[in-house]
Amino acid sequence: MFIKIRNLFVAATLLALAVLFFGWQSSVASARQPKILEFDTMVGNTQAFTGATNPIRGINGGGLPWMVAGSAKGELKTDGQLEINVKGLVLAAGPNAGSNPIANFAAIVSCLTGDGGIVNVMTGTFPATTGPASQGGGNAKIETVVALPQPCIAPIIFVTNPGGAWFAATGN
């Protein structure tokens, strides 16, 4: 009887170790998704890119110039995981310069495809703080997964308004 209990204990211990090991391996594998793009900066749209003037890959700029008064960083992984953390994305001109009047941001990932086409993939909206950058306005964290074309060549990542007009961009 003692041997049966001991064998049962050994089997249960081995099973628990296997679950822990393989579960850990699986989470490590997903954490190691290759990055297509990692960035520590974004540039706000300037007067030359406002509205329909000089769209980038078919994406129009916001109606006024924007700037990143704080910081912007993020990454895009091969499986479509997208993270953007922006602080102080605010208007650079107009009566509300230095403030963000928009309560929600979105993102667009623009890729060139293997045949030279352009695919623009837009996310849903994410909350953004409103008000002056000096009081925390223009902050947002975007975390989502987008369906990327394969391959996604020379990606550009845009932070946009809910309608898709871009405020800040970075990319290859």
Residues 28, 108, single domain; the answer is no
Predicted confidence (pLDDT) at residue 73 exceeds the cutoff of 90? yes
Who has greater pLDDT, 172 or 23? 172
For residue 89, report the phi and psi dihedrals to the nearest 5 degrees: -85, 105
Residues 86, 16, single domain; the answer is no
Residues 68, 119, single domain; the answer is yes
Residues 148, 71, single domain; the answer is yes
What residue numbers bound the domain in which 27 lies?
Answer: 1-32
Degrees, nearest 5: CA angle 91-92-96: 50
Predicted confidence (pLDDT) at residue 107 exceeds the cutoff of 60? yes
Residues 8, 52, single domain; the answer is no
Strand, coil or helix: 58: coil
State pLDDT tens for residues 122-151: 999 999 999 999 999 999 999 999 999 999
Distance set, CA 27 to CA 15, 78, 139, 160 (Å): 18, 16, 30, 32
Burial class (CB in 10 A: 0-12, 13-18, 19+), 10: exposed
Q: For residues 157 and 111, what is the distance between their CA atoms, to the nearest angstrom?
A: 9
Residues 93, 165, single domain; the answer is yes
Residues 93, 142, single domain; the answer is yes
DSSP string, 3-28: HHHHHHHHHHHHHHHHHHHHHHHHHH
Residues 124, 107, single domain; the answer is yes
Number of domains in the chain: 2
